[in-house]
């Protein structure tokens, strides 16, 4: 059995630069360029135990494609094809299937390796996939009862400051600072506004709200938000149920007087928000649309909704 970390059980093996190796052998040099300058890309992917006892990765193909797109945006050349990266994720889990019988969190990452230093350096790209057992990112209680959020003093970076379609390692310093500020102030999560003052996203999640007229809204992709795969899943769930979702901008005070708010992301899954800036959201409990999305999401990832079967890759 592998040892455990603060995140729970970790993989006994990792995939690094084309081969499986023991976890403790996955080293990079101190002079790795990405360590100094933050030039790398990553993904977060979940595998779930399905209703029939199998293990399935959720929307693996879409995550691998976004990893490659992110790398292309920052001109980082990954020396593996989409299929090779797809197979690396599958083979890593297959090699230790018993260890992750109840599910796993996968972390593919690609970054500029060691060699030359300086901002203009171009070194070989290192590519890896790791896995561990990671529970609800914002806590099981948060999933069930909702969390407390704070609008951050940090602004989500402008589209001319960062590449918002890329899941780029160095850009997450912005989110880390916002998250730490919120947690130190006694909240669970931060909500960042864009440079114009409109709601953008949380530190690591997209955001949805349901106003008092029952209209579901989420910030548009024309703003500085990540094109979240879980966000896309939620849009499918809602629209396939006949509900209309408006992808529009809205202000922070719209959150204060709305009926429901929830965050979504691979790590956070579907997490309700019960309070923003010390203002209770409606009755302070997850609302009916949030509960519907939660229920459908977990049914889908557990293989209980045949119409979404193509989103699952069984191990």
Which one of 68, 99, 132 terminates a domain?
132
H/E element, 289: helix 288-301
pLDDT at 6 over 50: no
pLDDT at 147: 97
Buried b (16+ CB within 10 A) or exposed e, 156-190: bbeeeeeebbbbbbebeebbeebbebbeeeebbbb
With 80 as the cut, is the pLDDT of residue 2 above it? no
User: Is-contact 218 293, C-beta < 8 A?
Assistant: no
Helix 229-240 / helix 60-73 crossing angle, nearest 10 deg? 130
Residues 169 and 195 in one domain: yes
Residue 315 covered by a domain: no
The pLDDT, as a whole number, for residue 136 is: 76
Helix (H) or strand (E) holding 37: helix 33-37
- CATH code, domain carrying 116: 3.30.470.10
- Taking the alpha carbons at both ends of the chain, their separation in whole angstroms is 20
How far is 219 from 247, CA to CA, in rounded Å? 5
Query: Using 50, 70 and 90 to split pLDDT, how confident is the model at 289?
Result: very high
Task: With CA atoms as reference, report the closest residue to 44 among 127, 104, 111.
Answer: 104
Please count the other Cβ atoms lying within 10 Å of the Cβ belonging to residue 268. 24
For residues 48-59, average pLDDT: 97
Q: pLDDT digit string (tens) for 129-181? A: 999 998 878 888 999 999 999 999 999 999 999 999 999 999 999 999 999 99
In a domain, 312, yes or no: no
Asked whether residue 186 carries a pLDDT value surpassing 60, the answer given is yes
- C-alpha closest to that of 66 among 37, 47, 44, 46: 44
User: Has residue 175 been placed in a domain?
Assistant: yes
Q: Which of 132, 148, 181 is the last residue of a domain?
A: 132
Say if 218 falls within a structural domain: yes
Quickly state the pLDDT bin for 114 (edges 50, 70, 90): very high
pLDDT of 135 reads 81
Q: Report if residue 306 sits inside a domain.
A: no
Q: What is the pTM of this model?
A: 0.94
* In the predicted structure, residue 207 carries a pLDDT above the cut 90: yes
Its domain, for residue 250, covers 140-301
Residue 127 is predicted with a pLDDT of 98
CB 256 within 8 Å of CB 197: no
What total of structural domains would you count in the chain? 2
Could you tell me which of 210, 208, 13 has the C-alpha nearest to residue 128? 13
224 in the same domain as 167: yes
- Whether residue 49 lies in the annotated active site: no
What is the band of 26 on the pLDDT scale with cuts at 50, 70, 90? very high
CA–CA gap between residue 120 and residue 205 (Å, rounded): 32
The pLDDT mean for the chain works out to 95
- The conformation of residue 157, written as its DSSP 8-state character, comes to P
Active-site residue identified among 97, 150, 167, 213? 167
- 119 in a domain, yes or no? yes
What is the spatial distance between Cα 56 and Cα 138, in angstroms, rounded to a whole number?
22
């Amino acid at each position: 059995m592998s040892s455990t970390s603060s995140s729970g059980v970790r993989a006994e093996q990792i995939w690094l630069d084309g081969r499986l190796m023991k976890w403790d052998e996955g080293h990079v040099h101190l002079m790795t360029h990405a360590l100094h300058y933050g030039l790398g890309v990553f993904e977060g992917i979940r595998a779930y135990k399905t209703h029939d006892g199998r293990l399935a990765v959720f929307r693996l193909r879409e995550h691998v494609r976004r990893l490659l797109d992110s790398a292309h945006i920052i001109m980082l050349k990954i020396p593996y094809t989409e299929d090779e990266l797809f197979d690396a994720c599958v083979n890593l889990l297959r090699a230790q299937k018993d260890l992750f019988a109840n599910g796993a969190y996968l972390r593919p990452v690609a970054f500029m390796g060691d060699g030359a230093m300086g901002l203009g350096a171009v070194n070989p790209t290192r590519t890896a996939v790791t896995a561990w057992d990671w529970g609800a990112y914002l806590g099981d209680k948060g999933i069930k009862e909702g969390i407390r959020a704070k609008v951050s003093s940090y602004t989500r970076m402008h589209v001319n400051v960062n590449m918002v379609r890329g899941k780029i390692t160095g850009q997450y310093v912005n989110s880390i600072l916002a998250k730490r500020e919120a947690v130190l102030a006694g909240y669970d999560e931060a909500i960042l506004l864009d440079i114009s003052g409109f709601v953008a996203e949380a530190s690591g999640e997209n955001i949805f709200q349901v106003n008092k007229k029952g209209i579901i809204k989420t910030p548009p992709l024309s703003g500085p938000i990540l094109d979240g795969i879980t966000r896309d899943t939620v849009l499918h769930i809602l629209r396939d149920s006949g509900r209309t979702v408006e992808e529009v901008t809205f202000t922070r005070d719209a959150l204060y007087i709305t009926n429901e708010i929830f965050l979504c992301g691979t790590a956070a899954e579907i997490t309700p928000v019960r309070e923003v800036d010390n203002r209770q959201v409606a009755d302070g409990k997850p609302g009916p649309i949030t509960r519907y999305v939660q229920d459908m999401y977990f049914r889908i990832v557990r293989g209980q909704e045949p119409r979404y079967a193509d989103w699952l890759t069984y191990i």
